[in-house]
Amino acid sequence: MSTRKDIRSLSKEEIITALQAMGEPAFRGRQIWLWLWKKSARSFAEMTDLSNALRAKLEETFELKPASIHQTQISNDGTVKCSFRLWDDSFVEGVLIPTDSRTTACVSSQVGCSLDCKFCATGYLKRQRNLDAQEIYDQVVLLNELSMKQYGRPLDNIVYMGMGEPLLNYANMWRSVELITSEEGLHMSPQRLTISTAGISKMIMKLADDGARFNLALSLHAANDESRSSIMPINVSNPLDSLAEALGYWYRKTRTRPTLEYTVIENVNDGDKEARDLILFARRFPCKINLIEYNPIRQADYKPTGEDRLKSFADALSAAKLIVNVRRSRGKDIDAACGQLVNSGQD
């Protein structure tokens, strides 16, 4: 077991202090910080404007534990699913989703998940641990490199919609956003990031209080408490009234409409009553609605709703003057679509 400290777990000030304790000037610490987060260095050997002696000293004192791509699968539609190997031989999955106009990275925030959503493959896994901020950052870096290699263009959007619940890993999620968006990091606009939550009311309000500048999506999937609790146990402790209050608070503080993600499942949440329930809920605060095709998983017997029923459901929302989009699933043939991710990297 290594006794060296992971240098990427330190703040910039802590790195500067550590370098000064080695007899180095403060600017060396700032140089190293930029190598870590702006240039995404994965080894001290890459830090070529540092002396060989200093790099050797860093190697003795600190370690780098970058994630790596273990496996990739490419869908017929061009979607790429990656299994990432982490420093402790845990695995998470992320997805690169290309369209004609943009590329999106879908990243994970936990190894496994604790929320037990009945229609989601990840929900059938045990939560093993939270990801560190640097492990979330690494997924973005690796998927961006893959996008450049595969499609010749960088990432346009990042969505925290992979494995795990980001708001149950709040501190690491927040720090990863800072690393991705800061000028001394990847310098991506926070408006190109979306954090998706299954619905933890007090943490949604904390996001607003903390000055979040990114987008927020709520995995809703049912708009009455009985139905939602039956497929999303998190609703028992975070019922719809509390979520509506939190989302209204989010909008008042950030002036950004949250997006309601609604996976349409045959004979579960796709009827006329369910459409009316959704209309009533969505009218409680400004929002947008994404209707999502259900992607079958082997752990559950749910089925996607038929095209006619999906159109009828969408038309009812549009008639109620709500902003609604139907999102078509990508990567279904490689289990890379929404709700299909698992720890599949193990040999």
Residue intervals in the chain for CATH 1.10.150.530: 5-63
Q: What pLDDT score was predicted for residue 329?
A: 67
Q: What pLDDT score was predicted for residue 346?
A: 47
Q: What pLDDT score was predicted for residue 336?
A: 47
Strand, helix or coil for residue 158:
strand
* pTM passes above 0.85: yes
How far apart are alpha carbons 338 and 95 in whole angstroms?
A: 10
* 263 φ/ψ sector (left φ>0, alpha ψ -120 to 50, else beta): beta
CATH of domain 68-334: 3.20.20.70
- Nearest of 139, 136, 42, 131 to residue 96 by alpha carbon: 139
Which is the catalytic residue, given 24, 82, 93, 117?
A: 93
Which is the catalytic residue, given 113, 117, 287, 338?
A: 338
Residue intervals in the chain for CATH 3.20.20.70: 68-334
Known catalytic residue: 338?
Answer: yes
How far apart are alpha carbons 165 and 195 in whole angstroms?
A: 9
In CATH, the architecture of 5-63 is Orthogonal Bundle (1.10)
Known catalytic residue: 106?
Answer: no
Q: What pLDDT score was predicted for residue 100?
A: 87
**Residues in the chain with pLDDT values less than 50:** 336-337, 339, 345-347
Q: What pLDDT score was predicted for residue 270?
A: 95
Q: What pLDDT score was predicted for residue 295?
A: 83
